[in-house]
A and B are shown apart, each in its own frame.
Chain A
Amino acid sequence: MKKLASSRYLFPLIVAAVVAVFLLLDNQIGLKALTITGSSFLEMLSVIPPIFILLGLLDVWIPREKIIKHLGEESGLKGIILSFTLGAAAAGPLYGAFPIAAVFMKKGVKFSNVLIFIGAWSTTKIPMFMFEMASLGIGFALLRLAINIPGILIMALILEHITGRELKQIIYEQATKLSE
């Protein structure tokens, strides 16, 4: 068990060693790299721990039936809007969305809704939208949003369509295993 755990951390250790080499060879680049890594780390810390705890709470408290009713196969337009809203209200990097998607699948959320959630999370996050407006202007942010909303929906539908029933089943089983 211990051996397995340490081998999983071998890769980050190698990358850390490379950064250390840069730090020794060229102090400036090394320090800059660490500063950027530090800001990614802060971003992670600012949202990921509470998101995972909320996820754990959702898993133990909200029954599957309830989730299926609002986001499952028969949830229709309401399910689409709800998935979109959940993704857009989120914060944090995209990798934070995958474990949530896994719990969603375990609880019986419709596949296209899972994909809409991920799409919304990736590009239409409301907190980031404010920031985008401030940096790049209202026109830029609004136009990007206006193109992305239909884009996310269309891509989710196409992806659901081309993922066969068998593959979908494998993904759902895998997701259930990952969120035990």
Chain B
Amino acid sequence: MYSVGLYIATAVLLVVSFAANRKKTVSAIRKAWKSFERILPELMAIMLFVGLLIALLDPETISSLLGESSGLSGLLIASIVGSITLIPGFVAFPTAAMLLNSGAGITQIALFISTLMMVGVVTFPVERKYFGTRLTLTRNSMAFAFSFLVAGIMGLVLK
């Protein structure tokens, strides 16, 4: 739905732009393609790699590892898996709900979701291209630490 709207809005703007100035529009499309192609090889590798990684992890093992009483090891696993993988939201949220139902703890799941969204280990090469190694490292470490805070609060409140 959102995506259809986005495509339509883009098409309309593109037509308006083309009517107003052909040359500018062609240059805009060229820029769009160049920026896309710049990250394309990394994207392809990331998508293939994450697909394989998730296929190798099986859901029952994960929920037993992430149980309410799994303590520090459960938290570590949740944060590491969340940081490394890159799962689309429409897959991640239902998966998280499924893990919760099969016995995973709320703190662990909150940690998984938060690191999944804020920390990007596999996207590191892409982020580094734009922000440099130092800032990328700092941003990701901060987001990693912050995710523990988020999960801690959520675990306390939602228990």
Contact = CB atoms under 8 A, between A and B. Distances in A.
A60 B16 CA distance: 13
A95 B143 CA distance: 15
A171 to B, nearest CB: 6
Contacts of A125: 89
B35 A55 contact: yes
Contacts of B72: none
Main secondary structure, interface of A, reads: helix
B14 A95 contact: no
B48 to A, nearest CB: 4
A53 to B, nearest CB: 5
A50 B142 contact: no
A39 B91 contact: yes
Interface residues of A, number: 81
A37 B157 CA distance: 35
Interface in B1-38: 2-3, 6-7, 9-10, 13-14, 17, 24-25, 27-33, 35-36, 38
B97 A50 contact: no
Contact of A50 (B10, B24, B135): B10
A123 to B, nearest CB: 5
Interface residues of B, number: 76
Interface in A136-167: 136, 139-140, 143-144, 147-148, 151, 155, 158-159, 162-163, 167
B110 interface: yes
A128 B41 contact: no
A88 interface: no
Contacts of B139: 115, 118, 155, 159
Contacts of A77: none
Contacts of A178: 35, 38, 129-130
A64 to B, nearest CB: 15
A29 B56 contact: yes
Interface stretch (B60-68, B76-84, B146-154): B146-154
A56 B31 contact: yes
Contacts of B146: 151, 155
Contact of B154 (A30, A42, A140): A140
A22 B36 CA distance: 29
A26 to B, nearest CB: 9
B119 to A, nearest CB: 9
A76 interface: no
16 contacts: A15-B44, A47-B6, A50-B9, A54-B13, A57-B25, A60-B31, A61-B24, A61-B28, A95-B127, A122-B118, A122-B143, A128-B89, A139-B158, A140-B154, A147-B154, A178-B38
Interface of A: 8-9, 11-12, 14-16, 18-19, 22, 29-30, 32-44, 46-57, 59-61, 91, 93-95, 98-99, 101-102, 115, 118-119, 122-123, 125, 127-128, 131-132, 134-136, 139-140, 143-144, 147-148, 151, 155, 158-159, 162-163, 167, 170-171, 174-175, 178-180
